[in-house]
Amino acid sequence: MQGCIKEIAVDGYERLLTLQSKNETLRCTYIDPHEYLEPGETSKLLTVDETIYFSLALNFVTAYELAEPGIQRRITQDLHDSPHAIVIGEIVEKLNYDSYLLSINDDLRIAVEFEENVELKVADYICVAGELTVEREPNFR
């Protein structure tokens, strides 16, 4: 996925990024093990208005609810300056014993990692909440 960095807040190795993709504005946690910064310092590795390629994950998920098939898939982030997200999506792949890949729309898929093993099926629609995290991918054209 591709998006533009709109805001960066730093604290140690952790960043809170506001990313603008084609259809979404997302607030995500990003861990940068190569750059330690105190709050208020400016990153030399990430800049505002920089376009990056990334993948998304929802971590620290402790529960789920099955949703009606065909319900509007979406990401909701109601807490300002927080990566907390409520996600409704369709399971398109089981990644391992506690992780699934959710489709939110044609361009957006999110890996969901549960805190414990869960048994769900491909094509299930679920609603989950957790911390939205981003992993930077190598740039490609």
pLDDT tens, position by position, 65-120:
999 998 999 999 998 889 999 999 999 999 999 999 999 988 899 999 999 999 99
Overall pTM > 0.85: yes
- The better pLDDT of the pair 22, 102 is held by 102
Nearest to 67 by CA among 115, 130, 128: 128
Q: For position 106, what pLDDT does the model report?
A: 83
Q: What is the distance between the alpha carbons of residues 129 and 135, in angstroms, rounded to a whole number?
A: 19
Percent with pLDDT over 90 in the chain: 86
| 141 has a pLDDT exceeding 80 | no
Beta bridge partners of 65: 127
Which of 135, 30, 136, 27 lies closest to 86 in space, CA to CA? 27
String of b and e for 92-116 (b: at least 16 CB within 10 Å)? Answer: eeeeeeebbbbbbeeebbbbbbbee
Contacts of 93 (CB under 8 A, 6+ apart): 100, 101, 122
Note the pLDDT of residue 31: 95
Output DSSP code: residue 22: S
